[in-house]
Structure 1
Amino acid sequence: MVAANELLTNAVRHGGGQGHVALWQEDGFVVCEVSDHGDGLPEPRPTPPPRPATDQTGGWGLWLAGELTDELHLTTGAAGTTVRISSRTS
């Protein structure tokens, strides 16, 4: 839930104030996909996202989502950003 909350917060804050979320179960994983229609993220975007500096007040969302889940996939561009996270259910 924390990972999904971080992605939703990012979509609202950085994606133009709106976002879309989908949740489903697939092949032993629970999957959450969050997308927005913002301007996208700056490139290059390393995967997994790097840990922010400890004195940094923002920029923790993607890193936390990656740390708290088994998989994180990020697609970004001028039309927006989509992040899919998944965690094993067993």
Structure 2
Amino acid sequence: MSDVDPLPAATVVPNGSAPLLAEGFDHGQVTAIRHTVASHAQAAGLTGTRLDDFVLAVNELITNAVRHGGGQGWLRLWRTDGTLYCRVSDTGAGIDSDRLGDRRRPAPEVAGGWGLWLARELSDEMLVRSGPEGTTVQISASLGGPEPDPLVG
């Protein structure tokens, strides 16, 4: 898993796969987008905790785009070869490279800074491209993967 691997600059879905969802959003659409992502992810084959984790990770990314990335964003959701992908892009000022490289869990008393950490922890892979022109974060989840053991931490 890499955190700062380059992503293609285009916001189209890679590999010519048809998107399950391709939407722009702003603050007023975060809840609706989250529900739509949940429906599509479930239809694509995610279930149980894996579905909940993926949807929470996407929610963190779209919330970050609205809060820190210029007030709006673009989401692409697609399925390729047994994997579900979500890419969220914004036009904010970018994320500081020190912040991107910091993989530590935020302190419990800290109100912010949880979004990228949660997205990384709750997905199989997270890739980021960030700069002054905006940020794109892509996460993935293997379909049909085993449910995590709730007793293993």
TM-score by length of 2: 0.56
**Alignment partner, residue 41 of structure 1:** 95
Measured against aligned partners, the alpha-carbon deviations of 1:61-83 in whole angstroms (never above 9, x if no partner) come to: 11111111100001100000000
Match in the other structure for 2:30 = none
Structure 2: distance between partners of 1:50 and 1:80 = 23
1:61 match: 115
1:28 partnered with 2:82: yes
Q: 1:83 aligns with which of 130, 137, 151?
A: 137
State the AA in 1 paired with 2:81. Answer: D
Contiguous gaps of at least 5 residues in structure 2: 1-54, 145-153
SS in 2 for 1:3: helix
User: 3-state SS of the aligned residue for 2:87?
Assistant: strand
Shift of 1:50: 2.5
Q: Larger helix proportion, structure 1 or 2?
A: 2
Deviations along 1:20-73, one digit per CA (max 9) or x if unpaired, are: 0000001211000000000001123217x3311111100101111111110000
Greater C-alpha radius of gyration: 2
Once superposed, what is the RMSD of the aligned Cα atoms?
1.1
What SS is found at the alignment partner of 1:19? strand
The aligned length equals 89
Amino acid corresponding to residue 83 of structure 1 in structure 2: V
> Aligned residue for 1:17?
71
| The structure with more strand, counted as a fraction of residues | 1
Q: Which has the higher contact order (CA 8 A, sep 6+)?
A: 1
Q: Which runs of 4+ in 1 moved over 2 A?
A: none
